[in-house]
């Protein structure tokens, strides 16, 4: 009986060992080549990310979209400013019956020339980065000017991107390709797979995750912690971009994110870098970055077709403020070679 018992015990142990080896092999497979390949294909992974880095998880389209709270009126900077300064009005097509974009004008501190401010509801709008043949180059691209007819059916607002490279002193990632390496510490507009978008410092507020589909970097943050960054000079003509004619007051633009996640965009015809920062802060930005500058390159246009699913066209588009060289037609022109961002109905 004893030999029989020993044989049975040996068989049982062999069976357990085989089971454990099979389990171990399955575990190794799940964390092996497949996982490693995914990690190595992520651009910008060499940059160290802090635990504060922003991530986004994919969410299904909600059955009922809930808008953010509408922005509160902005306080005018200057005594005697027009009564309309800081008073928001809805712009562009409605999304699920709600305004998704609000616009206003503000005189920057010490100026009587109006700047335009746009507020965009990221609960109602989905962001997309369009790439240009000149900026960033590196095509061909799926998403590039002109905007397609199918995309035009949900388009609400579009605005310019950042400086050409290498003047942007940052990186560019879109459609699974890194055209310019992402730079640790650079100001970054980041777009996620679910259409969410935010602005932050790369490696601190935002970092590469599997959900990131686009990153547009441009210089460093202009606004951080709800305040203009230190060291800004109203006389600057080069640190924050080379100005046309070497004068500090030029067309400038910038984009930021508010505490509740809305995007805010600012542009104006005669802005110093200090005034641009002040306007972005007044608009509610907690973090913001500069975008393109000088007359030919700054533009934001909203689109308001006659029906909810009507096509956005140059004819139903409207510039944020008058005086812009570019306009609604720019985004539908095959010759437009710069990158830009669209915000479309979810």
Average of pLDDT values for 170-180? 98
> Is residue 293 situated within a structural domain?
yes
11 band by pLDDT with thresholds 50, 70 and 90: very low
Question: What is the reported pLDDT for 173?
Answer: 98
Task: Answer whether residue 151 shows pLDDT above 90.
Answer: yes
Question: What is the reported pLDDT for 18?
Answer: 36
* pLDDT tens track for 24-77: 333 333 333 333 333 333 444 333 333 334 444 444 444 579 999 999 999 999
> Is residue 46 situated within a structural domain?
no
Task: Answer whether residue 202 shows pLDDT above 80.
Answer: yes
> Is residue 246 situated within a structural domain?
yes
Task: Answer whether residue 178 shows pLDDT above 50.
Answer: yes
Q: What percent of the chain has pLDDT over 70?
A: 82
Question: What is the reported pLDDT for 37?
Answer: 30
Contact 290, 162 (CB under 8 A): yes
Half-sphere exposure of 192 (CA within 13 A, CB side): 20
Q: Which domain range does residue 127 map to?
A: 81-345
Strands (E), the chain: 89-95, 98-106, 115-120, 125-130, 155-160, 172-174, 177-180, 187-192, 197-201, 212-217, 223-224, 227-228, 250-258, 263-271, 285-293, 300-303, 317-319, 340-345
Choice between 39 and 332, residue whose per-residue pLDDT is larger: 332
Choice between 36 and 311, residue whose per-residue pLDDT is larger: 311
Average of pLDDT values for 209-217? 98
> Is residue 244 situated within a structural domain?
yes
Mean pLDDT over each residue of the chain, to the nearest integer: 86
Question: What is the reported pLDDT for 1?
Answer: 40
Q: Specify the 3-state DSSP secondary structure of 2.
A: helix
Task: Answer whether residue 336 shows pLDDT above 80.
Answer: yes
**Total structural domains within the chain:** 1
Q: What percent of the chain has pLDDT over 90?
A: 81
> Is residue 44 situated within a structural domain?
no
Question: What is the reported pLDDT for 261?
Answer: 98
Compute the C-alpha angle 297/302/307, nearest 5°. Answer: 150
Give CA 34 to chain center in angstroms.
Answer: 30
Question: What is the reported pLDDT for 308?
Answer: 87
Query: Mean pLDDT lowest for which of 54-58, 102-106, 342-346?
Result: 54-58
Strands (E), 140-186: 155-160, 172-174, 177-180
> Is residue 69 situated within a structural domain?
no
The alpha carbon dihedral of 317, 297, 111, 224 has a sign of positive
146 band by pLDDT with thresholds 50, 70 and 90: very high
The alpha carbon dihedral of 205, 291, 255, 93 has a sign of negative
Task: Answer whether residue 161 shows pLDDT above 90.
Answer: yes
> Is residue 76 situated within a structural domain?
no
Q: What is the pTM of this model?
A: 0.83
* pLDDT tens track for 251-309: 999 999 999 999 999 999 999 999 999 999 999 999 999 999 999 999 999 999 999 89
Task: Answer whether residue 187 shows pLDDT above 50.
Answer: yes
> Is residue 10 situated within a structural domain?
no
């Amino acid at each position: 009986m004893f030999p029989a018992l020993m044989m049975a015990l040996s068989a049982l142990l062999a069976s357990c060992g085989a089971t454990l080896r099979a389990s171990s092999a399955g575990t190794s497979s799940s964390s092996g080549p497949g996982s490693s390949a995914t990690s190595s294909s992520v651009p910008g992974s060499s940059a160290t990310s802090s635990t504060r880095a922003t991530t986004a998880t994919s969410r299904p389209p909600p059955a009922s979209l809930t808008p953010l709270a509408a922005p509160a009126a902005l306080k005018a900077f200057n005594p005697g400013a027009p009564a309309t300064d800081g008073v928001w009005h809805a712009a562009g097509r409605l999304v699920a019956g709600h305004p998704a974009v609000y616009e206003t004008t503000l005189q920057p501190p010490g100026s009587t020339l109006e700047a335009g401010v746009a507020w965009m509801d990221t609960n109602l709008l989905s962001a997309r980065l369009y790439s240009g043949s000149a900026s960033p180059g590196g095509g061909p691209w799926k998403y590039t000017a002109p905007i397609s007819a199918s995309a035009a059916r949900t388009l609400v607002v579009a605005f310019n991107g950042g400086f050409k490279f290498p003047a942007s002193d940052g990186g560019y990632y879109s459609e699974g390709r890194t055209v310019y390496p992402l730079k640790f510490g650079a100001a970054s507009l980041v777009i996620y797979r679910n259409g969410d978008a935010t602005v932050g410092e790369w490696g601190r507020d935002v970092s590469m995750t599997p959900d990131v589909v686009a990153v547009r970097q441009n210089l460093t943050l202009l606004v951080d912690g709800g305040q203009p960054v230190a060291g800004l000079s109203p006389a600057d003509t080069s640190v924050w971009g080379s100005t046309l004619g070497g004068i500090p007051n030029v067309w400038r633009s910038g984009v930021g994110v508010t505490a509740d996640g809305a995007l805010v965009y600012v542009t104006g015809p005669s802005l110093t870098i200090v005034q641009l920062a002040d306007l972005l802060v007044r608009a509610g930005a907690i973090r913001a970055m500069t975008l393109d500058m000088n007359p030919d390159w700054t533009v934001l246009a909203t689109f308001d077709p006659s029906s909810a699913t009507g096509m956005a066209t140059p004819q139903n588009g409207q510039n944020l403020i008058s005086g812009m060289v570019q306009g609604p037609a720019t985004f539908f022109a095959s010759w437009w070679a710069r990158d830009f961002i669209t915000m479309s109905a979810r």
